Structures are given as structure tokens and as C-alpha cells.
Amino acid sequence: MFTVATTDHALRGDYSQAGADFATTQDYAAYTPAEQVLWRRLYQRQIALMPRYAAAPVREALAELDFGAAIPNLAQVAEKLRRATGWRLVAVPGFIPDAAFFAHLARRQFPVTVWLRRPEEIDYLVEPDIFHDFFGHVPLLFDPIFANFLQLYGEKGAEAERLGATSILARLYWYTVEFGLIREAESIKAYGAGMLSSFAETAFSVDDPSPNRIGFDLERVMRTAYRIDDFQQSYFVLENFQELFRALQQDLRPLYARVRAQPEIASDAVLPIDRVFTRGTGAWKRRRRAG
């Protein structure tokens, strides 16, 4: 068994049937009626937040996909996704090692966990389940520029493995793919899967005065620590997906060297060089500590 970058508890999925690339199969008949009910409950709760909080490409893809009635059958979505951006979905038992994850992304294959959380985990679970992966990540695969960025991220991931820079590059994934914000006319919207699939963090990331909201900068993000067990204390804001795709097209080796030569930036820090959209009050952190 391997431990993954962010958790070292025993992994939940059944890895016994997975191949060398950690691909497995989605046994659709195995989902219980109770799991179908839980899926509908999760979906209805989350889809109601999208008009106000989700970025336009997310809203458009969710409308196109329309998968609220039942747990999605990965094979049924395949043709729509292939036509849109040539991406394929690969069923996986859960978290997979970075190298395998990068290899799938580099081949325009997105790993989707096949199990669904338990009812008592409706508000929080440590590992990604099919609701996080499908509701959070799959809609973004329909955006051509984001889809190209994600494939490039996989290619850069393989290079980062060779350079021992995986944990630096993982910060980019965390602060964009998982918890990214984006400008939309005069407002800020969410596109990160981690908040779009989380009832409480969707509103928190866009509306709450507690966190910082800082203009995206690749080096700044790669220097910034993050927490996996709580809301983010800082979110980074893109102007558009082209900005993210362009940022990753450079040679990252000088960037990795600069990141290693400077101190790590705390997740709640605001620096003089930052383009600040919101200087957070930090109230959530104090409340959490008090709680």
C-alpha cells in the first residue's frame, strides 16, 4: 500500500482489482438505492449554489451534463466529453500515486473515484469520492483551455517527479484545480473542485470576509503552504484560464530553484507584492481555534 501526498490513513477504495495504472472498473449495479438517494441529495444541494457562485464554464457544463437523477455512469458521459475536448474518464479506486495520476492527465485521461461517501460524511470527507471528482472536476474538462492546461499539468508532473519538485507543483494544483477563483465581469466566481463539491466552502470561498483573495501569480502560489483539513485561508484569483495555461508553458526549473531558495509563505499571509482583492479578517481561523 502507498501513502499519498496528503493523507496517510488506510485508503478506502478496493485497489485489489486495479491495474498497473490504477485503472479499475465502475460496477454500476453495485451502487445501492441508498447511495442513489444520497447522490441526488448531494447534487440537489450543490446545484442550487451554482448560479450564484460557479464560474460560467462550470455552469454551462453542468447544464449540458445534467446528471442529478442518479450516480453518473462513466461510460455514458464518455462520448459527450470526447466530442467536447477529447478527454476520457478512467475509473479508479480512490487516491492514486502522483506518478500514475500525472501519467493519466498527460494522456487526457481524468481519474474518477468510483465509491460514494457515507451519509454521515455529507459535509466532509478526507479522500475524494465520486461526487467530488465528478461534480467538482468533470465540468472543467469541457472547457478547451482548462482541458489543455490539465494535460500540460500532467506532463509537467512527470518532469517534477524527476526533479523532486512534486510537492512544489502540487501547490499549483491545490490553489487552482482544487480551490481556484476566477474574475467574471465585476465579481469573483469559484472553479475549484474542492469548493464546488463542498456545500459550505462554495459560499465561504466567494463571499466570506475571512479569507484573503489574491491575484494569481505562479511563483507566489508555488511558495504558499496549504491545509488539507480546513477551509483555505487564502484563495488565488485568475483573470481567465488562458492566464493559467500560459503560466505553465514556461521552463519551470528556474522557478523551482527560486522557490527552494526562499522561505515558504504561510497560508494566511498577504505580501506587499500581492494584488489583493480581499484582505481577509481571519475570523474563521479564530472561530475554529475557539471551537
Burial label for 229, CB within 10 Å (0-12, 13-18, 19+), is exposed
Instruction: Tell me the CA end-to-end span of the chain in Å, nearest whole number.
Output: 35
Window of 38-46, 83-91, 120-128, 184-192 that interacts with Fe ion by CB under 5 A: 120-128
Applying CB under 5 A, among 105, 193, 218, 255 the residue interacting with Fe ion is 193
Window of 41-49, 121-129, 139-147, 152-160 that interacts with Fe ion by CB under 5 A: 121-129
Amino acid identity, position 184: E
Choose from Fe ion, ligand HBI, none: what does 193 bind? Cβ within 5-8 Å by kind.
Answer: Fe ion
Contact residues for 44 (Cβ-Cβ < 8 A; gap 6+): 68
For Fe ion (CB under 5 A), the number of binding residues is 2
- Closest distance to Fe ion from the beta carbon of 48 (Å): 21
Contact residues for 107 (Cβ-Cβ < 8 A; gap 6+): 151, 154
Strands 212-215 and 234-238 come out as parallel
Window of 40-48, 138-146, 193-201, 264-272 that interacts with Fe ion by CB under 5 A: 193-201
Q: What does DSSP assign to residue 214?
A: E
Nearest to 249 by CA among 141, 137, 164, 159: 159
Choose from Fe ion, ligand HBI, none: what does 5 bind? Cβ within 5-8 Å by kind.
Answer: ligand HBI
The residues of the shown chain that bind ligand HBI, judged by CB under 6 A, are 4-5, 92, 95-96, 98, 101, 111, 113, 128, 170, 173
Q: Which helix (H) or strand (E) holds 109?
A: strand 109-113
Is residue 105 near Fe ion by the rule CB under 5 A?
A: no
> H helices of the chain, where?
33-47, 50-53, 56-65, 74-85, 98-106, 130-131, 144-163, 166-173, 193-196, 199-207, 218-222, 241-247, 253-261, 283-290
- Closest distance to ligand HBI from the beta carbon of 111 (Å): 4
Residue closer to ligand HBI (CB basis): 57 or 94: 94
- Closest distance to ligand HBI from the beta carbon of 172 (Å): 8
- Closest distance to ligand HBI from the beta carbon of 57 (Å): 19
Nearest to 123 by CA among 32, 231, 12: 231
- Closest distance to ligand HBI from the beta carbon of 78 (Å): 18
Distance between CA atoms of 133 and 135, rounded to whole angstroms?
6
Residue closer to ligand HBI (CB basis): 24 or 202: 24
Distance between CA atoms of 93 and 15, rounded to whole angstroms?
6
- Closest distance to Fe ion from the beta carbon of 254 (Å): 28
Choose from Fe ion, ligand HBI, none: what does 4 bind? Cβ within 5-8 Å by kind.
Answer: ligand HBI
Is residue 141 near Fe ion by the rule CB under 5 A?
A: no
Q: Which residue shows C-alpha cell 491545509?
A: 227
Residue closer to ligand HBI (CB basis): 239 or 264: 264
- Closest distance to ligand HBI from the beta carbon of 291 (Å): 28
Is residue 112 near Fe ion by the rule CB under 5 A?
A: no
